[in-house]
Chain A
């Protein structure tokens, strides 16, 4: 016998499965665009699937998905999508490179579509949040950057992490 709470859980499971599929589709399209990025068609494909239209990305020759899944944020109902991939690309010096990259995306509530927030070399995001905080409190004497850059950097890593979305009421 299924109780109401089981139906809720079942519903959430199906919903998560659909969201994962949707987020994965956009990530696939993004990777496809990166293989064509040296062509106008590749740049056009990026339209509407990234939050920031000004970011620079590598031109991929191939990629291999190592991991993908949704992750929880600390705002109820808001999930993020993470993909780790081994990518093959060519550096600006024309040297072939093979690197592990991380992709983070979130759903844009204004049009209800998943969009890429960041695509960069893979690293430990929680450690980056910790490091970014440590440059602010206590003030680091070895980091000459202005405080505005440090806060901006911390905010970026908090968005990547998704665990620092906790909502506070602001007046």
Chain B
């Protein structure tokens, strides 16, 4: 099980939307930041 925050969920949603738009430039940089802040 992975701990996930509301912000992480929204970044994942953004990523899914980017995939739908075929946006290969999408970089979920804040997701990496959150993983460093929230104990996993």
The judgment on whether A and B are partners is yes
28 pairs of residues in contact across A and B, judged by CB atoms under 8 Å: A51-B33, A51-B36, A75-B3, A75-B38, A78-B39, A117-B33, A146-B17, A147-B14, A147-B17, A149-B14, A151-B13, A151-B14, A155-B8, A155-B11, A156-B30, A158-B6, A159-B7, A159-B30, A159-B33, A159-B34, A159-B37, A165-B5, A166-B5, A167-B5, A168-B5, A168-B6, A169-B1, A169-B4
User: CB within 8 A of B36: which of A109, A146, A166?
Assistant: A109
**B33 x A52 contact (CB < 8 A):** yes
Residue from B10, B18, B36 within 8 A of A158 (CB atoms): B10
Chain B residue at smallest Cβ distance from A159: B7
The answer to whether the Cβ of A152 comes within 8 Å of any Cβ in the partner chain is yes
User: Could you tell me the dominant secondary structure of chain A's interface residues?
Assistant: mixed
Q: How far is the CA of A166 from the CA of B4 in the complex (A)?
A: 8
How many A-B pairs fall under 8 Å by CB?
Answer: 92
Is A38 located at the chain interface by the 8 A CB criterion? no
A6 in contact (CB, < 8 A): no
Do A146 and B5 have beta carbons less than 8 Å apart? no
Asked if A95 lies at the interface with its beta carbon under 8 angstroms from chain B, I say no
Taking residues whose C-beta sits less than 8 angstroms from the other chain, chain B's interface range is 20 to 34
Task: Mark out the residues of chain B between 7 and 32 whose CB falls within 8 Å of any chain A CB in the assembled complex.
Answer: 7-11, 13-15, 17-18, 21, 23, 26, 29-30
